[in-house]
Amino acid sequence: MKKKILLGMLVSSSNAFANDFIEDTKASLWTRNYYYDRNYTEISSVPALKEWAQGFVFTVESGYTSGKIGFGLDMQAMAGFKLHADSNETGAQILPVNKYTHEAADAYGKIGVTGKVKYSQTELKAGTLMPFTPVVFSSRARLLPQTFRGVEIQSKDIDNTLITLGWLDKVNQRDSSNYENIKISGANGKFLPATTDNMFYGGFQYNFDKDNLIGAYAADVTDLYRQGLIMAKSNSRINDQWNFLTDLKIYHSGTDGKKLAGPVDNTLFAGNFGLRTGPHTFSVGMLNSSGKTGFPYLYGGEVLFFLDGVSTDFLNPKEQVWSLRYDVDLKQFIEGMKFAVRYSRGDNIHLPKLGGTDLKEDEWAFDLQYTVPEHVRYLHGLSIRTRYAIYDNDFAPIASFKPDNELRIGIDYTWKF
Position 223 pLDDT exceeds 80: yes
Q: What are phi and psi of 114, to 5 degrees?
A: -130, 115
In terms of DSSP bridges, do strands 122-129 and 69-84 run parallel, antiparallel, or are they unpaired?
Answer: unpaired
Tens digit of pLDDT for each residue in 341-387? 999 999 999 999 999 999 999 999 999 999 999 888 888 889 999 99
With a CB cutoff of 8 Å and minimum separation 6, the contacts of 159 are none
The per-residue pLDDT for 377 is: 82
Q: Report DSSP state, residue 132.
A: B
Tens digit of pLDDT for each residue in 316-325? 999 999 999 9
Tens digit of pLDDT for each residue in 276-287? 999 999 999 999
Spatial contact of 65 and 20, defined as CB atoms under 8 Å apart = yes
What does the alpha-carbon distance between residue 258 and residue 110 come to, in Å, rounded to a whole number? Answer: 32
Q: What is the mean pLDDT of residues 121-133?
A: 97
Residues composing the chain: 417
**pLDDT cut 90: percent of the chain above it:** 87
Angle 19-23-26 from CA coordinates, rounded to 5°: 145
What confidence category does residue 12 fall into, taking pLDDT thresholds of 50, 70 and 90?
A: very low
User: For residue 219, which amino acid is it?
Assistant: A
User: For residue 398, which amino acid is it?
Assistant: I
Q: Report DSSP state, residue 113.
A: E
The per-residue pLDDT for 22 is: 87
The per-residue pLDDT for 5 is: 43
How confident is the prediction for the chain on average, in pLDDT? 93
Q: What is the mean pLDDT of residues 74-79?
A: 98
Tens digit of pLDDT for each residue in 228-278? 999 999 999 999 999 999 999 999 999 999 999 999 999 999 999 999 999
What does the alpha-carbon distance between residue 415 and residue 161 come to, in Å, rounded to a whole number? Answer: 31
**3-class DSSP state of 73:** strand
Position 146 pLDDT exceeds 80: yes
Position 21 pLDDT exceeds 90: no
Spatial contact of 367 and 387, defined as CB atoms under 8 Å apart = yes
**Which residues share a beta bridge with 366?**
341, 388
Q: What are phi and psi of 4, to 5 degrees?
A: -65, -40
Kindly state the helix (H) or strand (E) to which residue 8 belongs, with its residue range: helix 2-17
> Domain locations in the chain?
1-112
Tens digit of pLDDT for each residue in 387-408? 999 999 999 999 999 999 999 9
Q: What is the mean pLDDT of residues 309-313?
A: 92
Q: What is the torsional sign of CA 307, 313, 316, 322?
A: negative
In terms of DSSP bridges, do strands 147-155 and 356-371 run parallel, antiparallel, or are they unpaired?
Answer: unpaired
The per-residue pLDDT for 44 is: 64
- b/e for 291-314, b at 16 or more Cβ within 10 A? bebbbbbbbbbbbbbbbbbbbbbb
Q: What is the torsional sign of CA 18, 19, 20, 21?
A: positive
With a CB cutoff of 8 Å and minimum separation 6, the contacts of 352 are none
Q: What is the mean pLDDT of residues 56-77?
A: 96
Between 19 and 153, residue with greater pLDDT? 153
Nearest Cα to Cα of residue 286 among 272, 296, 305, 275: 272
Cα-to-chain-centroid distance, residue 331: 27
Percent helix, strand, coil in the chain, to 5, is 5, 55, 35
The per-residue pLDDT for 15 is: 52
The per-residue pLDDT for 3 is: 43
Nearest Cα to Cα of residue 209 among 233, 189, 174, 245: 233
What confidence category does residue 49 fall into, taking pLDDT thresholds of 50, 70 and 90?
A: very high
What does the alpha-carbon distance between residue 72 and residue 65 come to, in Å, rounded to a whole number? Answer: 7
